[in-house]
Amino acid sequence: MRILLIENDPEWAAALATMIESLGYQLMGTAHSLSLAEEMLKKQPPDLIIGDVLMNNSSVVEFLQRIPTVHCPVIFATTCTDLVQYELAGQRNDTRYLIKPFHALTLRSAIDSVLRKPAPPEVRKGVAVRGPNNQRVMVAFNTIHYIRVERNYCFLLAQNKKYALKISLAKLLQQLDGRFVQIHKGFCINGDYITRTDLSGNQLFINEEALPIGYNYRKKVVDFLAGKPD
């Protein structure tokens, strides 16, 4: 990994260079001015930038924002405790702010943090409920025909089985995928199980069971049906 250092304090430039090399990273160069930093960035993009927040009263944060080729993470190592500069630096997602002095392991932790790839979001395949023996049971989405609300509970009707879950429908909807649509304040259906529609009568049928379409949900249902493949 190639690191560019932007630092005009000779002592700290040397100290950071030693830390970087001791941690096993490659120091591609040290820029003691923003003009030199710009030249170096044009020649070769680094994998990481470690720099002060202010150099000769100029904001390094704003300088980096003006360079279109800067797409790498940035660690600001500084004695500056100005809240404006801190918040400006924090506008980037891949930035850390370290107050000098600090240990090499603190720098290592910051580097690991900005380089760590976020875990991919968990793809839900079902709804977790409690079974008859209080064990955790995963009810697969493709087995749920519809959901009915009764007071503080949602009942999952799934292939001749019924599961109770103490949760609001609004929160449960956040766990479901695109095959589900709420059709009434008390009902949510799995579109894969619709056997017949009667929009004039404000009803949907799952097998032979008629479920009501609420007035406030009619447009959502129509749009949902229009987007479903035949």
**Are residue 103 and residue 60 in the same domain, yes or no?**
yes
Q: Confidence band (pLDDT; 50, 70, 90) for 150?
A: very high
Residue 66 is predicted with a pLDDT of: 83
**Are residue 35 and residue 75 in the same domain, yes or no?**
yes
Q: Confidence band (pLDDT; 50, 70, 90) for 71?
A: confident
Most confident of 39-53, 84-98, 102-116, 199-213: 199-213
The pLDDT tens digits of the residues spanning 163-182 come to 999 999 999 999 999 999 99
**Are residue 54 and residue 154 in the same domain, yes or no?**
no
Is the pLDDT assigned to residue 121 strictly greater than 70? Answer: no
Which domain-ending residue is among 65, 86, 115? 115
Is the pLDDT assigned to residue 11 strictly greater than 80? Answer: yes
Which CATH number do you get for residue 24?
Answer: 3.40.50.2300
For residue 76, being part of any structural domain is answered with yes
**Are residue 106 and residue 52 in the same domain, yes or no?**
yes
Average pLDDT score over the chain: 89
Closest CA to 114 of 190, 46, 204, 212: 46
Averaged pLDDT for residues 28-38: 92
**Are residue 194 and residue 219 in the same domain, yes or no?**
yes
**Cα 130 from Cα 146, distance rounded (Å):** 18
Q: What is the pTM of this model?
A: 0.52
**Are residue 8 and residue 86 in the same domain, yes or no?**
yes
The pLDDT tens digits of the residues spanning 177-193 come to 999 999 999 999 999 99
For residue 120, being part of any structural domain is answered with no
**Are residue 16 and residue 111 in the same domain, yes or no?**
yes
Is the pLDDT assigned to residue 122 strictly greater than 80? Answer: no
Is the pLDDT assigned to residue 230 strictly greater than 60? Answer: no
For residue 121, being part of any structural domain is answered with no
Q: What percent of the chain has pLDDT over 70?
A: 96
For residue 8, being part of any structural domain is answered with yes
For residue 43, being part of any structural domain is answered with yes
**Are residue 11 and residue 105 in the same domain, yes or no?**
yes
**Cα 124 from Cα 40, distance rounded (Å):** 46
**Are residue 143 and residue 47 in the same domain, yes or no?**
no
What's the total number of domains in the chain?
Answer: 2
**Are residue 41 and residue 95 in the same domain, yes or no?**
yes
**Cα 106 from Cα 80, distance rounded (Å):** 17
Residue 8: domain span: 2-115
Which domain-ending residue is among 95, 115, 135? 115
Which domain-ending residue is among 115, 144, 169? 115
